[in-house]
Structure formats: structure tokens, C-alpha cells
Structure 1
């Protein structure tokens, strides 16, 4: 969430899903355009136990996502 909020958009959304004893968590900044890359976020997510994680930007803003074992 911290990374999505730092983009400076007017809103942030969080999306959750589960499948096969794993949870997918996605934070979306809703700020169009290219956001500056945050190189610290992925190692932090891995350190918190993310099985896999990533970040990308698109027309609807930056997405930061992580998959965690339940």
C-alpha cells in the first residue's frame, strides 16, 4: 500500500483473491502515467513471506502484487 499511496493519486484500491491455499493481494494507485520505480518494494515483500511478487504500470496506474501461502 505504501508504494501505491506514494504515487500521489486521489485513491488507492486493494484487491484480494484466493486459490489453492494461496492469497493474491494487489494494490492499485489509480494514477495514470509512468510512476517512478521503487526498487525496495519487491525485496520487502519477499522478506514478508511473498512466494512471488511484482509491480508494473499501465493506463490505470501502478499495480503492486504479492502471492502469499495461506
Structure 2
């Protein structure tokens, strides 16, 4: 697993990547939790390099 951080326009992007190809997207329970913590937007998807969960937060 790796975590990537970036900032732009007083917002922070946080991405967690599993690095395990072939994993199906898990339940969406994490997204309401991220919104509850103040995420401006958030999402999850899968790709060849694994599952990603991301959130954008105001700084």
C-alpha cells in the first residue's frame, strides 16, 4: 500500500493505492466516513495497479 499527497488551490489530495491488481472494489462505507471528516469530494476505483481510494480536503 502507498499513500500519495498533493496540494493545489488550498486543497489537499490524499490517495491510497493498494498495489494489488485484481481486487474488486470493496463496499462504499468508507466514502460517507470521509465526507463526515470534511472531505470536499472523495471516491474509489480499481485499475490495473490496484484499488484507489481518494479524498480532497480543504486546507
Aligned to 2:32: 43
Instruction: State the aligned residue count.
Output: 59
Supply the distance in 2 between the matched residues of 1:14 and 1:63 (Cα, whole angstroms). 10
Structure 1 spans left out of the alignment, 5+ residues: 1-11
2:6 to 17, 22, 30: 17
Give me the CA root mean square deviation. 0.9
Equivalent position of 1:30 in the other structure? 19
TM-score by length of 2: 0.94
The CA distance in 1 between the partners of 2:23 and 2:43, in whole Å, is: 16
TM-score where L is the length of structure 1: 0.80
Which structure exhibits the higher relative contact order, with contacts defined as CA atoms closer than 8 Å and separated by 6 or more residues? 2
More strand by share: 2
Listed one character per residue, the Cα deviations across residues 4-45 of structure 1 (whole Å, up to 9, x for unaligned) are: xxxxxxxx0000000000000000000101324222010000
